[in-house]
Structures are given as C-alpha cells and as structure tokens.
Amino acid sequence: MRKLLLFKLTALVLVVTLLSVGVATFFVSLYSQRSLYANLENDLKSNANMIRFWMEDMDPEMLQARIVRLGTEMDRRITIVDSQGVVLADSAVDPEQMHNLSDRPEFEQALAGRVGTAQRTSETTGDGLLYAAVPLPDGAVRVAMDADIIDVAVGSLLQGSLAIALLVLASALGVGFVISRHITDPLNDLLVVTRQLQAGEFGRRVLVRTTDEIGLLGKAFNELSQTLEKMFNTIHDREGKLNAVLTSMDDGVLAVNMQRKVILANRTVAETTGLDEESLIGKDQVEVIRNLDLANILNETMGKEKTVNEEIKLNPASERIVAVTSSPLEAEDGSIIGAVAVLRDVTNLRKLETMRQEFVANVSHELRTPITSIKGFIETLLNSDLEDKQMVDRFLRIVNGETDRMITLINDLLDLSRIESGKQLMKLESTNLRDVFQGTLDVLQSKAELKGVSLANRIPEDILVKGDAKLLRQVAMNLVDNSIKYNQEGGHVWVDADVTDSRVEVTVADDGVGIPKDHVNRVFERFYRVDKGRSRNMGGTGLGLSIVRHIVEKHKGQIWVDKHTDQGTRMKFTLRRAEETGLSSHTGDAENQLTE
C-alpha cells in the first residue's frame, strides 16, 4: 500500500509538473517566436525605410552597384522594383535575370501603398527568407533576411526552456517524493496497525508525528483502537461465558432467524445431527434437524409470537422422546427476529414414569391376590363351624402360605429398593467363589432332593473374587433356586466358573424347561415372568432376577442369559477377580462402601 500510494502521489506531482512546465514552455516559446518575428519584421521595415530615404538623391546609373554594396554591409538582400514590378536592382542576383515580381505578396502590398511582409523560399536563391517591402514614389523597395536565423534563435530558446523544465521537473519530483513520504508513512502505519487489529492485537497504537489532519486521524484511530479493545474484551468475555453455558448444557439449544436459517447451535445439537457446531450456522433448520414436527413448532413460534411446548420424536423409527420449548427471539426494539428452541431428552424420564406406573400396578396386583385369598378364607372361617378342626387347619395353612408370600414379596421389594437407592452397604473383600456356591447348594439340597434334582459344584477351589460375600450368596441363592424350581424331575443343576486376566465368568446351568428366546431379554425386569401362573404357584415374586442383576452390576459385573443353549438355561455373570497376594479369603483388608 505504501509503495502504491507513494507512486501515485509522486506520479501525480510529476504529471502536474509536466503539464505545467509543458504548457508554460509552449506559450513562452510561441510568444518568443512571435515576438522575434515581429522584431525582425520591424527591423526589415526600418531597413527598407532607410533605403527609401537613401535612394532619393542616388544616381540611377549607380543604383545596382550601390545596392550590392549596401546589401553586403547590411547582410540583407535588397530588391528594388518599379511600379510595374520590374526589378531595377538586386543585391544578390542580376536584375536582368529576374522576372517580374509584382505577384509577390509583399510587393503587391507595397505597390498598393502599404508595408508588405512575407516568409517563403526564394525561387531565385532557393533560401528561406523573411521579406519586408515599403512603397516608393515610382515602385517599391524590399529587404530580405535569412529565416534560418529565426529557427536558430527559436531552437536556442527551446533548449533553454527544456533545460529549465527538466530542472523544475527534477526539483518538483524530489519535493513531491518528500511530501508524498510525509503523507504515506503515517498512512502506512495506520495500515499496519489495522491489520494487527484484524489479527486481534488490540494493544497496538499509531505513532502521531504531526498535528495536521493526518495527525488528528492517527489520534482518532488510537482512540478507536482503545474503544474496540474494550468492546472486544467485553464481547469475548460474554461470548466465552455463553459458550461455556451452552457447551455444558445437556439440553440442545437451537436458534433460527426469520429466514429459518440456524444462527446458534450448541454441542448437544451438533452431536444429535452428527455435524460440527460451526458448520451448522447458516444452514436451513430442516437441513439440520430433518424433522417436520420441530420445523412446525419453530414456525408456529415465529408466526403466533408465543412460546410452544411439545414432545416429539426426532426420528420416527427411534424411541427417543424430546421435549421442545420454543420461544420467540426478540430484538431490542421488540420485533421478532427468530425463535430459540430448547431440546431436552426425556426418554429416560418417560421410561421411568412408565416403569413407576407398571411397578405400582404390579405391586398392587401381587399384593391383591394373597390379600383377597386371605380375606376370602377368613370370611369363610367366620361364617363356618369352627369345630371342624380339619377345615380350620387347612384354611389357616392357606392363610399362612399367602402371608409368607406377601412377606417374601415385601422383603424382595425392600432389598431391591436398598440396592437401587445406593443405601446398601457393601463390604468388598476377597471371597472364595466355590465356598459361596457350596453353602447355597447345601441349603437347597433338601429342596432339590424332594424334586429329584441333582446339584453339582464344578467351580475350582482357588478362584477368589472381589465382592460382598452376603450379597453374592443372595445371587447364588436366587439363581440356583430358580434352576431347581423350573427343572424337571430327575434333572440336573450345576455351577461352573472360568478365569480370565481380571474377570471371573460364572455359569449357573440346568437342563430344565429353559427360557424361550423371545423372553430372554426381559427376564431381568421387575415382576416379569415367563409363565405367570406357574411362577406364582411356585412362590415366585418376579423380583429375584432383577435383584440379582442389580447386585452383579454393583460389583462392576454383567449378567446375561446364554442364548446358544439347546436345552435348559445357562445364566452367566462376571465378577472382578481378586489378587491372591493382596487379599486373603474373608480375612484381608475390607473395602467398606455404599453402592453407587
């Protein structure tokens, strides 16, 4: 910029100087040439008049000789003609060799009684001459001089003018360059600082050298730079806080203008769309979300200028539910310039509400059945003969069984509630896995014998896991008890374990009725039963496997049903392996904690 402006200013000075000097030289030369011609013509006229007066007393016989001598002395060509234009004497040529000159412009004027002048090439001598003729009583006298004298004089004048012009041009160029530098240097400083401001370097200032308009401009620029620095810092601070808030929000925030173009989108919206936050800006709202319901909500917000609250599915094929709160976006003057929508994922909340409703319904149903049974038998006893001991004993046994069933259900609910709420105290220690299951098998041995089911513990004796022995026994009790319950007479139940680097995979298997594949993914839900009638008759509450799942997950493990079993059921779960050198069975340092 500096060189370009400096060149322009210097070129401007050069052009102005050239025009000024050229025009001045042209008019001076023209004036000088005209003045020179006028002076020479006046000299020739004066010479002609002198010759006219000189010829008044001259002998005509001596005219030619006198004219030749006079022409030589005056360095002029002198020609005398009579009234008819016949040459009487000539200082350069023999008069007899010359033809009539009455047609010459200067002689035409002189013979007419006026002073005549002309400039042309002489037909007699071939030289360029300047002529002046004055009338005589019986003719005219003409004096001529070489016109080259004028060209030489004009040439000398032009050379002098050109030298002066070059000197003036050089001086003007130097002065113009200095003045241009004086102008462009501060402007170049302004350009440099402006580019630094564009790069965010707001601490830069312009050096003010003068107090003229350029100096005032530099001073004003410094004040503007300082103001911009304060404004930028304020905006940057607000933008940083806004970005921090928007980025940390789990809810999506999407703002569009009246043209339905995205003007703001946070990280959650970007993750939902799979695009970068910056790339969302400027795109059409439908292109970003690709959801007609959301587009209609934003349109309704901007059209009716009111807040809209709705729940939608971003993808019809997905179960994800999003609660949308869309509000008008107002400018400072109160006009609507767009809409801003907050998108909150309420899928889990709706699932929890559904689970809560189902839980209340299931608990109510599970409690209503034994309570109704108890009430019915009590009413029967009240209205019957109590002396029938056999009937009373049978009814009381039924009431007792239903009561035990309610107590079991309530205990399972309390256990599940403690585990899910994180209030269950866990005592993590190195526990021998074989001992845990062996104790369970011993407890359930009599129940298995009544059904003719054999029990087998195939877990190696040296496997240690990190866990709460009491809770692990509850897991073992539920899984083995289910294998016995839903087995056939003469069936088999066995437990086994495989060790990996840091995990132990436990298997509780049986060759009983098994679980249909379409029920496998739901058996760990609360109150879910594959065969509700048979399960209830066997005393099940529908909460056992749900409790088992939560206990295993609290131990940082996983539990699942092996789907690749042709007969029976294979329940598998994983536990963390305990280091043999770090913790001893039941006696090492215990890690007491609340479940998270």
Highest mean pLDDT among 19-33, 227-241, 280-294, 469-483: 469-483
Please state, in angstroms and rounded to a whole number, the distance separating the CA atoms of residues 119 and 397.
160
- At 299-348, the pLDDT tens digits run 888 888 889 888 888 777 777 788 888 899 888 788 888 898 888 888 78
CB 541 within 8 A of CB 366: yes
- Enter the tokens of residue 421: 């709420």
Cα torsion 513, 519, 522, 528: sign: negative
When mean pLDDT is compared across 30-34, 179-183, 531-535, the lowest value belongs to: 531-535
pLDDT band at 361 (very low <50, low <70, confident <90, very high): low
How many angstroms separate the Cα of 97 from the Cα of each of 33, 90, 557, 576? 35, 10, 144, 145
464: which strand partners? 432
The answer to whether residues 133 and 51 touch, using CB atoms and an 8 Å cutoff, is no
pLDDT at 582: 43
AA identity, residue 321: I
Tell me the one-letter amino acid at 425. L
Residue 5, exposed/middle/buried by CB under 10 A (0-12, 13-18, 19+)? Answer: middle
The pLDDT of residue 541: 60
Residues 367-393: pLDDT tens digits? Answer: 666 777 777 778 777 777 677 777 778
- pTM summary value: 0.43
Question: Residue 211: is it exposed, middle or buried by C-beta count within 10 angstroms (0-12/13-18/19+)?
Answer: exposed
* 104-146 residue pLDDT tens: 888 888 888 888 888 888 777 777 788 888 888 888 888 888 7
Between the CA of residue 403 and those of 372, 407, 410, 411, 518, what are the distances in Å? 11, 6, 11, 12, 33
Helices 148-198 & 213-248 angle (0-180, nearest 10): 30
| Confidence label for 528 from pLDDT (cuts 50, 70 and 90) | low
Average the pLDDT over each of 27-31, 91-95, 365-369 and give the range with the smallest value.
Answer: 365-369
**Which residues sit opposite 573 in a β-bridge?**
506, 559
Written as six digits, the tokens of 251 are: 């809810």
Beta strands in 29-169 (DSSP E): 77-82, 87-90, 116-121, 128-136, 139-146
Spatial separation of the C-alpha atoms in residues 71 and 123, rounded to whole Å: 19
Task: Give yes or no for a contact between 255 and 325, defined as CB atoms under 8 angstroms apart.
Answer: no
Tokens 């929508």 belong to: 341
Q: Which two tokens stand for residue 139?
A: 């003719």
pLDDT at 586: 40
Choose among 478, 506, 476, 480: nearest CA to 493: 480
Q: Is the pLDDT reported for residue 458 higher than 50?
A: yes
What pLDDT is recorded for position 595? 41
What is the DSSP secondary structure assignment for residue 540, as one 8-state letter? -
Question: Which pair of tokens denotes residue 382?
Answer: 């009240």
CA distances from 406 to 363, 510, 523, 548 (A): 10, 28, 21, 20
Pick from 440, 497, 436, 495: which is nearest to 467 by CA? 436
Contacts for 174 with CB less than 8 Å, ≥ 6 apart: none
Among 227, 327, 337, smallest CA distance to 235 is for: 227
